[in-house]
Amino acid sequence: MIRKVPQRTGIGVSNADRHARAETLAVSAAKYMEARPVGQGAETANAPTTETSQDATKPVNAEVGPASKAYAAPAETAKPEAARKARAPRRLRSRAKAKQNAEEAVGQGGEKPAFHMRVLLADTVRIEEMAEAAGVSITYIQKALQKAVLVRMRELRDADGWSRYTDQAAPRLEDSRGEGPAFGRTTMNLSADQVREVYKGIHDPLRIHSTGQVLSAFARVLLVEELDALEKRIDG
């Protein structure tokens, strides 16, 4: 008696149909086994793929790139203030120290007056003649004179040597500013003691004149001397 395999259609299945179906399943199984990897390769192929890699397991403090280096750079490159000062040339350190002392002196009752070099019409003519004889511009001669006078003014200040030019500077207080071009206006740091010496050197104990006016009188004296000296150098 033939056993019937129930189907949804309710129709019986013959032996020939069973054998045909079995053969089809066997062929499909064989193809599946051939296509499926076996052994270690199968485990690797079937292993779940994740984005975690060996790089992701590195410790957090590992080198991560330029950003971390840039962040650490200030700590490595920062230099103490004392080290920078030690490397500065001695000349620059001396200038900075002198400037600091001058500013401190001004803050302790000193002054920083502005003064100029009094240039008269006769001086302007001499400057023009010297520039023509030397083959340079008038401005060049003026700058040379200004530099020389400023150096000597600082020397008088530092040595308290104003009294050497008292007789020459006092009459210059009433000099006109001249008809020539503006010339040599600058400033000078003076401590309280140096201000007293300036007025003492001009015989102005009541300080009728301003400090800048007194300095301009001394600068006028020195300018005349430097004009004479420069003229001799050019002619000689």
pLDDT attached to residue 144: 93
For the residues 39-57, what does the mean pLDDT come to? 48
CA pair distance 147, 19, nearest whole angstrom: 122
Closest CA to 163 of 202, 135, 221, 131: 202
Count of other CB atoms within 10 angstroms of residue 216: 25
Helix (H, G, I), strand (E, B) or coil at 114: strand
Q: Answer yes or no: are the C-beta atoms of 140 and 131 closer than 8 Å.
A: yes
pLDDT attached to residue 60: 47
CA pair distance 147, 139, nearest whole angstrom: 12
Closest CA to 112 of 189, 199, 186: 189
pLDDT attached to residue 172: 84
pLDDT attached to residue 94: 61
Q: Which two tokens stand for residue 132?
A: 């023509």
pLDDT in tens, 109-148: 689 999 888 788 888 899 999 999 999 999 999 999 999 9
pLDDT in tens, 149-175: 999 999 999 999 999 999 999 888 876
pLDDT attached to residue 122: 87
CA pair distance 177, 214, nearest whole angstrom: 13
CA pair distance 126, 230, nearest whole angstrom: 10
Strand pairing partners for 186? 115
Report DSSP state, residue 60. T
Residue 233 pLDDT more than 70?
yes
The chain-wide mean pLDDT, for the chain, equals 74
Q: What is the pTM of this model?
A: 0.54
- Cα dihedral value 164, 209, 195, 178, nearest 10: -60
Helix (H, G, I), strand (E, B) or coil at 115: strand
The burial class, CB within 10 Å (0-12 / 13-18 / 19+), for 205 is exposed
Helix (H, G, I), strand (E, B) or coil at 180: coil
The band of 12, judged by pLDDT with boundaries at 50, 70 and 90, is low
Q: Answer yes or no: are the C-beta atoms of 132 and 210 closer than 8 Å.
A: no
For the residues 185-205, what does the mean pLDDT come to? 91
For the residues 54-67, what does the mean pLDDT come to? 48
Helix (H, G, I), strand (E, B) or coil at 97: helix
Q: Answer yes or no: are the C-beta atoms of 236 and 132 closer than 8 Å.
A: no
Q: Could you tell me what percent of the chain has a pLDDT over 90?
A: 37
Q: How far is CA 222 from CA 118, 175, 229, in A?
A: 10, 14, 11
pLDDT in tens, 64-98: 444 444 445 555 454 556 666 556 566 666 656 65
Q: Which two tokens stand for residue 163?
A: 């009294």
Domains of the chain by residue range:
109-235
Report DSSP state, residue 190. B
